[in-house]
Each structure stands twice: as C-alpha cells, then as structure tokens.
Amino acid sequence: MSRQFTPKVVTANALLEGDVVYLTADDRWSRHHHEAELLEDEAHAEIRLLHAQGQPDRVVGAYLAEARAGAAGPEPVHFREAFRTRGPSNYPHGKQEEGAASRRP
Amino acid sequence: MYRYDEFDETFVRNRVAQFRAQVERRIDGGLTEDEFKPLRLMNGLYLQLHAYMLRVAIPYGTLDSRKMRQLAMIAERWDKGYGHFTTRQNIQFNWPRLRDVPDMLDALADVGMHAIQTSGNCVRNVTADHFAGAAADEIADPRPVAELLRQWSTDHPEFQFLPRKFKIAITGSPNDRAVTRAHDIGLRMVERDGAPGFEVVAGGGLGRTPVLGQVIRDFLPRADLLPYVEAILSVYNELGRRDNKYKARIKITVQETGLEAFRALVEARFAELRGEWEGADQAWLARIEADFAPPSLRRGSTAPYEDARAGDPVFRAWSDTNLTAHRDPDHAIVTISLKAHGETPGDATTEQMRVMADLAEAYGHDELRISHEQNVILPHVHKADLPRVHAVLKSAGLATANVGLISDIIACPGMDYCALATARSIPVAQAIAARFDELKLEHDIGPIKLKISGCINACGHHHVGHIGILGLDRAGVENYQITLGGDGTETAAIGTRAGKGFAYDEIVDAIERLIHAYLAHRDSAEETFIDTYRRLGPAPFKAALYPEEADRHAA
Ligand code: HEM
Ligand code: SF4
C-alpha cells in the first residue's frame, strides 16, 4: 500500500436514472454514500474501479472519489462529492427528496 | 412565425426514431457509453451531476403559445414541473430519465422543436436580439436571416465536425442586446447609402480565454451573407486547431493567423463561393421572410395604461423597469422577469409557462421570446392591455419589477447541476438578489449587469458583466473571484479581475460593499455603475472590496 494513497469510494451515475450511485463491498450499487465500500488500498481500489467500469449496462462514468471513514460509513471529502450525496441546493430534488432513497438501479 | 415544412418535419422525426433505436441499443448493451455519448450529445442529452439533462433549442429565442404549452407539458410529464431558460436561448430539463428522452423529443417534434445541434462541434442554436421585430431602435427584424442560417447550418455535411462548437448571434439594432462580440460570428445590421447590410464580427468568445470579436467586414451587402458566413466557416474548418481543445475556437484561429491574414483568406474563399448560390439563397430568404410578417397592430386608446400608472404604484414601478419602447408608440415590449428575489434565475414552473402562453395568446399576437438574460418577453402588447397583463403576472409570481437591476442576474447552473462546475452559482445569485431586496436599494442603484459563472467556461457571461462573479475551487473550498467593468453591448469590454477571491459566505457582503462604494462615488443618481467605474477606474471599488489592504496602506 502506497503511503500517499488517500481512501476512496467508487462512484458513478446510474444508466437509466442518471442518479449518483456508489459501489458497495457486496457488489451492489447503492444510492447512499455511507453504504459504499471504503477503499484504503490503492491496488484494491483500481480493481474495484475496473469492476465498476465493466458494468456499462448499469452505470456511466465510474471514478474514484476521495472519502474518509465516518460514524455511519464513508463520508465525502470534497464539496462536489458532498453535493452529489444530496442533490441541488436550490430545490429539495435528487437524493434529499423523500422516496428517492428507496429506488434501486 | 416560421413553420416547419415537410422536409424539416421528416428530418426531425427521422432523427427521433434514430435516437430511440440508439437509446434501446444503449440500454440492452448493443452500444457502449463511449459509442453512445456522442450520439446523445448530438441530440442535446447531457449527463450532469445528479441526472441527465435535455437541452432544447429555441431558435433565436422565438416561441408561440403552442410551443410554450408543450414545454410545460414536457416539464410536467417527464421532469419535475419546471424548466430552466439559459443564456443561449435554450431550455434545459434537469431530470429526464434515459428511457423517456425519445418520447420527450417526439413531443417536441409535435410542435416543431428539437434538441439537434445544441451540443457538439457544429453550428449551435443561432441567437438573436430578443426584442427582434418589435424594438423601436431596430433597422430590420434579424430573425429571417437567423432562420436562414439555422436551416443552412442544420445537418450541413461540411460543418458537423468543426474544430470546436460555433456560435452565431445576430442583431438588427445598433443597441446590441445579443452580445454579438462574444460570439464566433456576430452579425449587426447596418445601412450604407440606404442599402441594408451587416457589420460582420468574428473571433469572439468567452470561456477560459475571453476575446471580443473583431470587425472582419465593416459592410457586407445583405445578399452576400450566406456565402460570406460559409467562407468564414470554411477557412476556420481548415485552419482551426484540432490538436488542442483550448486552442480550437475561432477566436484562437484568428489570433494565431492574424486578423489581416484571416480576412484575406476569407475574402478569397468568399470570391469562390459567391457565384455558387446564383440567387437561390435570396429566394430562400424571401420565402422565410413571409413567415415573419409583422403582426397587424391594433389601434386604440392607451388611457387604461396611463390611468394605472397614475393610480397604482406597484404597476408603475413594474412598468418603469419591465417595459421597453416598441416601434409602435401605442404598444410596449413586456419583459417578464424570471428573477423573483431568492428564486433560481431563469426557472419557470409549468404553471408559469402556461400563464405566459395564455397571455401571449390573449394579448401578445401569440409571440413569446426567451432572452439571453434568462427572462421571457411578450414583444407586442397594446398599452391598454398592460394593467391586465400585469395583474395576471402578479397572480402567477411573475411580476417582479427588476429587469435590468441588480437582482436581474444571469447565473449558469453551476455546481447544483453542471458536471464541469468548480463552484455553485445559483445560491450566490439567490442570496445577492435577496440581500438587495432586503436593503430596498435596487431601484436606487439603477441599471447594472451582474453575471455569475460556476467555472472558467463562462456560460454565465461573467466576463461581460459590469460585475462578474466566477466560482472556483481553491484547495477544496468554493471561492468567488470578482471582475469589474465588463460590458456585453455595443460598447463591449471584458471585465478585469478585482483581486483575490471571496469565500462562499463572504461574497454577498463583498458585493454589498462594492455597491455602497458606487453609491458613495457616483456624481448623481443618473450616473450608472458602469459609467462611474469608467470615470474613476477600479481604485475606489477595490478599496471597498479589500478594506484591510486599504488600511494597511494607510498605516
Ligand atoms: C451541461 C452543462 C454545460 C456544459 C457541459 C457546458 C460546457 C461549456 C464549455 C466547455 C464552454 C467553454 C467553451 C470554450 O471555451 O471553448 C462553455 C461556454 C459557454 N456556454 Fe456552456 N455548458 C453548459 C451549460 C450551459 C448553459 C446552461 C448555458 C446557458 C445558460 C451555457 C452557455 C454557454 C455560453 C454563453 C458560453 C460562453 C461563450 C463561448 O462559447 O465562448 N452553457 N460551455
Ligand atoms: S460555466 Fe461552468 S459551471 Fe457554469 S454551466 Fe458552464 S460549464 Fe457549467
């Protein structure tokens, strides 16, 4: 494990809805950041990203986003990733909207 | 208004059918995302931060009630009950699902609309002065020429794979409301010895390297327009850089080649192309012009208007800011503000779209326009009808009296939607508008252009705002840089950076300080912000923005 490697999660957008999704340790795509697998090893992270990129029928644009461990699971580090966990700030749309959380890709 | 002929109709329907099949193949795995992405972009479908986004062209900003109602229907049925009008006279739907997009495109085709060439390295939606055909200061309606350019450039085989996107804007007035100098080609109608023609400006653009277009031809006879535009595109297509995206726009080509050399190449190409049309383009234009015949305006007393102005201060305030002189003195151009204080600039709900459609039908010769300033216009309203129009707008939350004022902000979608953003722009616009509303200062401040972009691409035109705000990511924190002195009109200028940026929670206070400095320094209430800035230069404004530095110098 490289010393400089900062923990990551694999994230993408769902093919059909466009909604933000995260790859979990048990190979699901979750709508919730805290359910994502926190990747602390660089080599493992690369493999998980390849695994995600091999699912073009389910997700688009998979990439590794910086994250850190939190009480309820991984938390975003950058503000862009924090916005992606919620939705826009001008309307209660996206994930912050009630009900959206229960939809699955 | 221009009506689709059979050719247009078949072309658009075929494209929808084609795209429907492409979506199906993407979903069932027949197409990879790499294969699908250019196809969806060609049909206006982007993937943003939280969802897909469908961008629909509103050619030269012109709509009728039927189209507006269809946009409302689409927003209601397949989106979240609103649409976002943009600086490029498009409407964007922020929440479509992939499977629904072909149906949305079919619904658009039902009313002669589409999303073709709203993305990609082709000639994009041709934009025009939103007061076209109505303004008192106009030489002629520029829209027939815009429509000619639209038809000519749509699916033009030579110009589908240009080095980069290509934007054309056109105005028929000496007062430039179409920001022509920030476009790849800007066309401004002029007259010489009584003959109509164009001043042709080329090589303008915003983005990371803002450049004002330069005059490449000071007078082009009207009949030469199409071959001349074709000559510019053809020279650009050949010389424009395909090796570097940041050097690919025509603004860079003109700089690298030099204006004189570029002009000589264009003139040489023009000499070859000029004879080829043999007048076919002029016959084509004449047919289009018939579709833009001006509405027959009603005669009648304007007394209800004068009475309402005398008796109703709310109406009076609205008519002071939201009306523009029509070429017929008994009529007015109404700008409907989509900038209610604290709301998202450019957004309209389905209900509001329907109200605007109803008003256009009842009082406005069935015409609507979308302005690059993200407002909606009723171009031909008889003054006697204005009190009624105002009352209906008021009940729909559409009567904000702020057109041209500090809360009439252009803001790009920023990091609330856009995948390229480096910071948010919408909440900054909302907070600034709400602040000046609270202070009850905006009418005292008077005309001012404030424009916000959420990244260096400058979709919010911040470079040409009197005050521009650019949202950046500085070490993982949103940071807002202010530019001053920009201007998008016939006296165009690129704003200059005031100094270091401000944090998200500092930017509204910084703008307030800037405005107080203006109010303190203007020589009278008549001197606008931009005039004061031009008279005094940036010093007093910088001092207000960075008081700690001023203190340091004083110490
Ligand atoms: C999906 C969202 C968007 C993307 C991906 C996007 C992308 C871009 C890019 C890459 C540029 C820079 C072009 C260059 O410098 O070569 C640009 C410029 C521009 N865009 Fe957008 N944009 C988006 C949304 C918008 C919106 C919502 C508007 C209208 C409000 C808009 C209007 C413009 C304008 C006016 C410019 C600057 C003029 C110029 O092309 O030089 N864009 N956009
Ligand atoms: S300026 Fe940047 S953030 Fe704003 S819409 Fe354009 S690309 Fe997106």
State in Å: Cα B146 to ligand 1 middle. 20
Task: Determine the distance separating the centroid of ligand 2 and the alpha carbon of B221, expressed in angstroms.
Answer: 37
For chain A, what is the mean pLDDT?
Answer: 91
Q: For residue B489, how far is its CA from the centre of ligand 1 (angstroms)?
A: 19
Contact A16 B99 (CB under 8 A): yes
Q: Where are the beta strands (DSSP E) in B44-107?
A: 45-47, 52-57, 62-63, 82-85, 90-93
Is the torsion defined by CA of B432, B433, B439, B443 positive or negative? positive
CA contacts within 13 A on the Cβ side of B330? 12
Does the beta carbon of B410 sit less than 6 angstroms from any atom of ligand 2?
A: no
- Interface contact flag, B50 A87, Cβ < 8 Å: yes
Using pLDDT thresholds of 50, 70 and 90, give the confidence band for residue B42. Answer: confident
pLDDT at B1 over 80: no
- Ligand 2 atom with the shortest distance to the CA of B422: 3
Tokens of B349: 């709900």
**Averaged pLDDT of chain B:** 94
- The proportion of chain A whose per-residue pLDDT surpasses 70, expressed as a percent, equals 90
CB-closest option in B32, B49, B421 to A56? B32
pTM of this structure = 0.93
Looking at residue A90, its amino acid is N
For chain A, say whether B417 makes contact (Cβ under 8 Å): yes
Please judge whether A89 and B32 are an interchain contact, meaning their C-beta atoms are less than 8 angstroms apart: no
How confident is residue A1, by pLDDT bands cut at 50, 70 and 90? very low
Residue B4 has a pLDDT of 66
Contact between residue B465 and residue B474 where contact means Cβ atoms under 8 Å apart: no
Question: How many CA atoms are closer than 13 Å to the CA of B139, on its beta-carbon side?
Answer: 21
- How distant is the Cα of A79 from the closest Cα of chain B, in angstroms? 7
* Residues within a 6 A CB radius of ligand 1: B 46, 48, 53, 86-88, 92, 164, 167, 182, 205-208, 249, 412-413, 418, 420, 457-459, 461
Contact B252, B233 (CB under 8 A): no
* DSSP H or E run through B71: helix B65-78
Set of chain A residues whose Cβ sits within 8 Å of the Cβ of B427? 89-90
Alpha-carbon gap, residue B450 to B7, rounded angstroms: 42
Least CB-CB distance to B52: which of A18, A56, A78? Answer: A18
Distance in Å, CA B479 to ligand 2 centroid: 15
Which ligand 2 atom is nearest residue B458's CA? 1
Cα B59 from chain centre: 11
Give me the half-sphere count of Cα atoms (radius 13 Å) on the Cβ side of residue B282. Answer: 10
| Cβ <8 Å between A57 and B430 | no
Tokens of B296: 């027959």
Alpha-carbon distance B291 to B162, whole Å? 31
Q: Which atom of ligand 1 is nearest to the CA of B248?
A: 16
Q: What is the band of A3 on the pLDDT scale with cuts at 50, 70, 90?
A: low
Does residue B478 belong to the interface with chain A, where contact is any CB pair within 8 Å?
Answer: yes
pLDDT at A41 over 60: yes
Does A19 contact B at CB distance below 8 Å?
yes
Question: Helix, strand or coil for residue B386?
Answer: helix
Region B418-423 average pLDDT: 98
pLDDT digits (tens, 9 = 90+) for B518-544: 999 999 999 999 999 999 999 999 999
Residue A87 has pLDDT above 80, yes or no: yes
Domains and CATH numbers, chain B: 6-109 (3.90.480.20), 142-290 (3.30.413.10), 310-395 (3.90.480.20), 410-554 (3.30.413.10)
Q: Which of B192, B184, B190 is nearest to B164 (CA)?
A: B184
* Distance in angstroms (rounded) separating the CA atoms of residues B276 and B224: 11
Contacts of A54 in chain B (CB under 8 A): none
Q: Which helix (H) or strand (E) holds B267?
A: helix B259-274
Percentage of residues in chain B having pLDDT higher than 70: 97
What pLDDT sits at residue B513?
98
Per residue, the 3-state secondary structure of B313-379, as one string, reads HHHHHHHHHHEEEECCCCEEEEEECCCCCCCCCCEEEHHHHHHHHHHHHHHCCCCEEECCCCCEEEE
The contacts of residue B153 (CB under 8 Å, 6+ apart) are B117, B122, B123, B126, B159
Domain boundaries defined on chain A: 8-103
Distance B490 CA to ligand 1 centre (A): 22
Token digits for B41? 């972009």
pLDDT higher than 50, residue A101: no
pLDDT of residue B154: 84
CA angle A13, A85, B115 (to 5 degrees): 45
Residues A89, B50: C-beta atoms closer than 8 Å: no
Q: Which residues of B touch A77 (CB under 8 A)?
A: 476
Question: How far apart, in whole angstroms, are the C-alpha atoms of residue B52 and residue B41?
Answer: 11
In this predicted structure, what is the pLDDT of residue B88?
A: 81
CB contact, 8 Å: A5 with chain B?
no
d(CA B405, CA B450): 9
